[in-house]
Chains A and B, each alone.
Chain A
């Protein structure tokens, strides 16, 4: 089946309200008992030959160009209207520790030793890789995630009920927990500035990068561009475009002058999407993965049901008391 004939992603998950989810969770859970969760893979993209939406966008990070100026972090902070960080963006002391994307910074830049040139360090910008077949989306029992035809993996914060399956599933350890409302924690992550893309702009980090280390464009064009850079300067780059194949491909691609493990990248990832691999796994051990969401969903629904029943009782009691008076 050719890519162009792929169905448009359903609007469904975005329209679901949290309440309607709760009311159907028992049904969905029960359905999951009989059907491997994976059959409901992210927006129906779980087939082995799926190579991403045609003409989808992506980003190319060229680590040989990055100078560690943190302009991208600053731009991300401003675009997402986050509070100013404790240390200003031109403070190099943040490089002393290894940081990771969090609820207050969807992207961070870390400093690494440079094995190719000890006189200057290397920098790595970390954020969601916007996988072509996102494991986060597959793992999410309520389809809060959507892989958009534009390439961005977005999520509906209002649907998230905090099960953290996506956190466990993501091969890059990206979804972060926003505990700002302790009783209603939700995941957060980079969404490739989806709103800006829709407005015809480019992601804020790419717009801010002065060094040309971040290039936003069509993924297919970026692959050609990356390959050309390797061919033109074989002495400068290692012969690997990270993200071209890893876990079935990611919208975010990387070029480096040193092996990717030296920049802390996982280099033992399969080339097949995790969705694809977990299919086989699921058929052998379906119990855990398929019954878990169901049980979880049922417990949750029952709890809510009891809560509501208790609330109703309370209210009718009050009514009666009022009547009595």
Chain B
């Protein structure tokens, strides 16, 4: 059965993604208990329906976790399970401060630090790396609706 994480309509989505992030090396999904299969994002539910992100599917598609979770691009772990099967406390200590949600850096946009995209841009840019060119995303504004954001 799939684990569903329903989250409040806030930027906390990223906390979830961030926690998911501490996984490197080739994703050995089977051992990992603490990573969600499906994440439902409701941040912009005033405009669109909730976005269902199939995290499990993406772990099988991406070469390694660092493809999306760029802070994990430097592989220092053999498998995801090296960290993610441990108790949260130990995990935190092991990650030695590296365990940070995306929003830790990608918070609210400030024009004083134009090199740091906000969370919305950071997430979209990751999706667009592969999804532009799939379907009509990148051809028509309807691509947004047809790919992820259901119309309300």
Contact B114 A210 (CB under 8 A): no
Contact A90 B139 (CB under 8 A): no
Q: In the complex, how many residues of chain B place their beta carbon closer than 8 angstroms to a beta carbon of chain A?
A: 24
Contact A218 B112 (CB under 8 A): yes
Contact A90 B144 (CB under 8 A): yes
Contact B111 A57 (CB under 8 A): yes
Contact A67 B109 (CB under 8 A): no
In chain A, what residue has the closest Cβ to B120? A210
Contact A211 B125 (CB under 8 A): yes
User: How distant is B125 from chain A, measured CB to nearest CB, in Å?
Assistant: 5
Contact B145 A210 (CB under 8 A): no
Of the stretches B12-20, B55-63, B130-138, the one at the interface is: B130-138
Instruction: Check: B3 CB closer than 8 A to any chain A CB.
Output: no
Residue interface mask B75-86, A partner, CB < 8 A = 1: 000000000000
Q: How far is the CA of A119 from the CA of B111 in the complex (A)?
A: 34
Residue interface mask B107-132, A partner, CB < 8 A = 1: 00101111101001100110010001
In chain A, what residue has the closest Cβ to B140? A92
Residue interface mask A30-70, B partner, CB < 8 A = 1: 00000000000000000000000000010010000101111
Which of the residues A120, A210, A221, A228 comes within 8 Å of B139, measured between beta carbons?
A: A120
Also in contact, A215 and B124, with CB within 8 A (given A119-B133, A120-B133, A121-B139): no
Instruction: Check: B142 CB closer than 8 A to any chain A CB.
Output: yes
Contact A68 B140 (CB under 8 A): yes
Contact B141 A89 (CB under 8 A): yes
B interface SS class: loop
Q: How far is the CA of A65 from the CA of B133 in the complex (A)?
A: 13
Also in contact, A120 and B132, with CB within 8 A (given A202-B109, A212-B125, A218-B111): yes
Contact A211 B114 (CB under 8 A): no
Q: How far is the CA of A70 from the CA of B120 in the complex (A)?
A: 16
Instruction: Check: B66 CB closer than 8 A to any chain A CB.
Output: no
Also in contact, A202 and B111, with CB within 8 A (given A120-B132, A120-B139, A210-B124): yes
Contact B121 A90 (CB under 8 A): no
Contact B114 A215 (CB under 8 A): yes
User: How distant is A315 from chain B, measured CB to nearest CB, in Å?
Assistant: 55
In chain B, what residue has the closest Cβ to A200? B111
Interface size range on A against B:
20 to 34
User: How distant is B147 from chain A, measured CB to nearest CB, in Å?
Assistant: 10
In chain B, what residue has the closest Cβ to A119? B133
Also in contact, A212 and B132, with CB within 8 A (given A67-B138, A202-B111): no
Set of chain B residues within 8 Å of A269, measured between Cβ atoms: none
In chain B, what residue has the closest Cβ to A93? B140
Contact A225 B114 (CB under 8 A): yes
Of residues 65 through 97 on chain A, the ones whose CB sits less than 8 Å from some CB of chain B are 65, 67-71, 89-92, 95
What residues of chain A have their CB less than 8 Å away from a CB belonging to chain B?
57, 60, 65, 67-71, 89-92, 95, 119-121, 202, 207, 209-212, 215-218, 221-222, 225, 228
What residues of chain B have their CB less than 8 Å away from a CB belonging to chain A?
109, 111-115, 117, 120-121, 124-125, 128, 132-133, 136-145
- With contacts A68-B140, A202-B111, A209-B121 known, what are 18 further pairs, Cβ within 8 A? A60-B114, A65-B128, A67-B138, A68-B141, A90-B141, A92-B142, A119-B133, A120-B138, A121-B138, A207-B109, A212-B125, A217-B112, A217-B113, A218-B114, A221-B114, A222-B114, A225-B114, A225-B115
In the complex, the 5 A-B pairs of residues with the closest C-beta atoms, listed nearest first:
A217-B114, A92-B140, A212-B121, A90-B141, A210-B124
Of the A-B pairs whose beta carbons lie under 8 Å apart in the complex, a sample of 26, sorted by A's number, is A57-B111, A60-B114, A65-B128, A67-B132, A67-B137, A69-B141, A69-B144, A89-B141, A90-B140, A92-B140, A119-B133, A120-B133, A121-B138, A202-B111, A207-B109, A210-B120, A210-B124, A210-B144, A211-B121, A211-B128, A212-B121, A216-B114, A217-B111, A217-B113, A221-B115, A222-B114
